Amino acid sequence: MILNEFFNLPGSRKKRKRVGRGIGSTIGKTCGRGHKGQKARSGVSIKTEGGQMPIIKRLPKRGFNSLNPVSYSILKVADIDVLVTQNRLDPAKVVNKVVLVNLGLIKNQKVLVKLLGGLDKIKHKLTIELDACSKAARSVIEEAGGVIL
């Protein structure tokens, strides 16, 4: 390949509109800008809606956005159950952030972790110590004889 042999495929580049090329071209003389006035001049950008209420103010606000949002890393009961069945997690020990970091489920111990349900039953007694827990997850673990600290 030589640089001077490169070319664009037909139709891949659109030619720019050349205005002011005669009356018969439909964009000649005033070039589609009408007669006189501010918008006929170059360098004008009018972005107001006049006396009308701007569209951004006409649309309703949606939802609630907290000034201090709290975001949790999510951990499911099913994930813990799979780890126990694969013998990667000892059910006798406490499941806390240190253990989760060692397993690679969360980045570091500063991350807030919430336990979510999703399973009806688990077979193992688990002791879990995390930042938050859903009602479904709490009921599943307590049914199996486990404890949430």
Selecting from 3.40.50.880, 3.100.10.10, 3.40.50.12780, 3.30.2020.10, what CATH number does the domain 73-148 have? 3.100.10.10
Report the SS3 class of residue 81: helix
Band (149; pLDDT cuts 50, 70, 90) = confident
Q: In whole angstroms, what is the distance from residue 79 CA to residue 86 CA? A: 11
pLDDT tens for residues 31-83? 989 999 988 998 888 877 678 888 888 998 888 888 898 999 999 999 999 99
Residue-level pLDDT at 135: 94
Report the SS3 class of residue 99: helix
| Residue written as token pair 């709490």 | 138
Element (H, E) at 78: helix 77-85
Please give the backbone phi and psi of residue 123, each rounded to the nearest 5 degrees, phi first.
-95, -20
In this structure, are residues 125 and 143 in contact, taking their beta carbons and an 8 Å threshold? no
